Amino acid sequence: MGTPPTPPSDPAVAASVRVLESLTRGFAGGVAARFWTGDTWAAGPPAGFTLVFKHPGAVRAMLWPFDRVGVGESYVFDDYDVEGDMLAFTGWLRHLVGVMTGWGLRARLGVLKLLLNLPRRRNPRDPAKAGRPRTAGQNTEADRRGISIHYDRPGTFYRLFLGPAMQYTCAYFRSPDDALDDAQRQKMDHICRKLRLRPGQRLLDVGCGWGGLLRHAARHYGVTGVGVTLAGEQAEWAVRANREAGLDGRVRIEFCHYRDMPYAAEFDAVSSVGMTEEVGNRNLPQYLRGVARALKPGGVYLHHAINLRPHTPFPRWTAFARKYVFPNGDLQTLPAVVGGAARAGLEARDVENLREHYTLTLRAWVRGLEANRAEAVRLTDDATYRIYRLYMAGATMGFDAGLYQLNQILFVKPAPDGTAGLPPTRADWYAPA
């Protein structure tokens, strides 16, 4: 038999351990912790991560009040750190959310008493790191601010975890072992094939990011295109990348809001990849009318977006992302998108749910960010690194549970006589290139 661990001499450590033991009971994985005194604690099988508490009030700061953002906020501002596998930590976090919401009053009061006996101390919060909340009208200027908060960082920061493809959306994995860059190229091909792009056609990409999909479509499918974005840093990167690729005569980037798109029956195809999460439910009908207006009769639209599972409230952890990551984020449901598109004159022809692909994508992004921590901090700061590390790892919980879904929906704008002009099967999407 081993030697029993020496009881901690600091009462705050002892109380913190009792809280962790209560909350971890029933968790199938392992949890380890190290305290400001050097004392350690572990439960369950060998843990993939270690919680590093920085001061006597750290556990209280992490868990009280349990207001949906406190656990993440305490990590961002270094009341505690997470060493090791961040994805293993989010597994414990998911258990924690279930425990804190599922316990009866007596059990919650017991833990609350322990927490409130800990020192009332937390590290300073930097309000500049929080995004501005959604405005009631979500007007053009509010959208512009919300997009800027997240996307107007150096492209070199995003490249650290997105890789050379610079695709900040769900990849398409033919195998779980695919490299991220390969999976992102496969995603772009998958979209181009669904749109059935051909040389000489015109493609509009709404929310074009750094322009990667447009360049891929121009190079490999012979189209010309226009990309629309509200993110200034992304627009500058895309224009430069188009020029360096020799495509600036075939691909144009417009810095404008979707409400201001002037296009009328000009495009054979429209794509929107990971953009409508910023549109908002109340503005979705207007957005879809703009897409329909831009399409020629018989044109097709590929809508690639994270959707919330129908009849499901937002998960508790979403509040952190809304405060620190996507202040204007608002997920629609699949029925809302299909219904709104129908009212705009678009007919749904295909739906594919790729949520497992997004879990694989997020895991690759987290690994890439962690591998480049020093450079990420140099380009931004430690709080920003922690925000991105936590939100990307935490998002895997929603996709794994099916609360978040990644739907690709193919729509067509029928001709006046009702014809859609599409093949009777999907066989061409999967035919050898």
Please indicate whether residue 301 or residue 1 has the higher confidence score (pLDDT): 301
Q: Could you give the residue range(s) of every CATH 3.40.50.150 domain in the chain?
A: 140-430
Segment 336-358, tens digit of pLDDT: 999 999 999 999 999 999 999 99
Burial of 347 (0-12, 13-18, 19+ CB in 10 A): middle
Largest interatomic CA distance in the chain: 83
What pLDDT is stored for residue 246 in this prediction?
96
Q: How confident is the model at residue 15 (pLDDT cuts 50, 70, 90)?
A: very high
Residue 104 in this model has a pLDDT that exceeds 80: no
- Determine contact, residues 337/303, Cβ cutoff 8 Å: yes
Residue 138 in this model has a pLDDT that exceeds 90: no
Q: How far apart are CA 142 and CA 147, in angstroms?
A: 9
Mean pLDDT of the chain: 91
Q: Give the length of the chain.
A: 433
Q: How confident is the model at residue 1 (pLDDT cuts 50, 70, 90)?
A: very low
Q: How confident is the model at residue 5 (pLDDT cuts 50, 70, 90)?
A: low
Element (H, E) at 292: helix 284-294
Q: How confident is the model at residue 112 (pLDDT cuts 50, 70, 90)?
A: confident
Quick one: what percent of the chain has pLDDT higher than 90? 74
Residue 169 in this model has a pLDDT that exceeds 70: yes
Q: Please state the rounded mean pLDDT for residues 375-380.
A: 97
Note the pTM of the prediction, 2 decimals: 0.92
What pLDDT is stored for residue 133 in this prediction?
52
Q: How confident is the model at residue 137 (pLDDT cuts 50, 70, 90)?
A: low
What pLDDT is stored for residue 2 in this prediction?
38
Q: Please state the rounded mean pLDDT for residues 83-94.
A: 94
Residue 4 in this model has a pLDDT that exceeds 50: no
Segment 294-341, tens digit of pLDDT: 999 999 999 999 999 998 887 766 778 888 888 778 899 999 999 999
Q: How far apart are CA 280 and CA 143, in angstroms?
A: 10
1: Cβ contacts below 8 Å, ≥ 6 apart: none
Segment 204-261, tens digit of pLDDT: 999 999 999 999 999 999 999 999 998 888 999 999 999 999 999 999 999 988 999 9
**The domain 140-430 belongs to what CATH superfamily?**
Vaccinia Virus protein VP39 (3.40.50.150)
Residue 423 in this model has a pLDDT that exceeds 80: yes
Q: Please state the rounded mean pLDDT for residues 408-425.
A: 96
Q: How many CA atoms lie within 13 A of 396 on its CB side?
A: 22
Segment 51-64, tens digit of pLDDT: 999 999 999 999 98
Q: Please state the rounded mean pLDDT for residues 168-175.
A: 97
Q: How confident is the model at residue 146 (pLDDT cuts 50, 70, 90)?
A: low
Which of 151, 87, 83, 164 has the alpha carbon at shortest distance from 360?
Answer: 87
